[in-house]
Amino acid sequence: MATETVENGAETGAGMPQLDFSTFPNQIFWLLVALVVTYFVLSRVALPRIGSVLAERAGTITNDIAAAEELKQKAVDAEAAYDKALADARTEANEIVAAAKADIQKDLDAELAKADAKIAEKTAESEAAIAEIRDGAVASIKQVAKDTAKELVAALGGSADAKTVTAAVNARMKG
């Protein structure tokens, strides 16, 4: 019975059905049907959807790039405005500093003039006082010299009148 089974299997099965040449026309027909159906499904359904997604993405990318360019231009403009404002602020600050320096210098000059006037006044007062003291000192020195000369002449046993002593002291003081 085992040999009978083997013989029946050999007669009934010729191997793989797809390699059976008698079924090739049927297989080619169904292959063409499957390819046509796949083509129509892809061309009518899938590819338009993919195309619309790609077009939408391209549009979004284009819009994003345009928006980025616009924002970049705005950033450049804002930076230029910032730089201009910074330069203007520096210029204004320099002008304020210069004006403050000028005001301070003017106040300093006025105070220096007042101080110089006070110093000149004090110097004049001091010179007047020194001249007064000098005149008083010279007069005192003359008086002391006269008194000393009279006492010396009297101590040495001589006599001198006031007019002679004054003339001798004046002559000696003049040099």
Domain boundaries, the chain: 25-130
Tens-binned pLDDT, residue by residue, of the chain (175 aa): 455 544 544 455 557 877 888 888 998 999 999 999 999 999 999 899 999 999 999 999 999 999 999 999 999 999 999 999 999 999 999 999 999 999 999 999 999 999 999 999 999 999 999 988 888 888 888 888 878 887 888 887 777 777 887 888 888 877 6
Q: Whole-model pTM?
A: 0.42
Separation CA 169–CA 152 (nearest Å): 13
Tokens found for residue 6: 């083997």
- Residue pair 150/165 in contact (Cβ under 8 Å)? The answer is yes
Degrees, nearest 5: CA angle 152-155-161: 65
Give the model confidence (pLDDT) of 54-76 as tens digits.
999 999 999 999 999 999 999 99
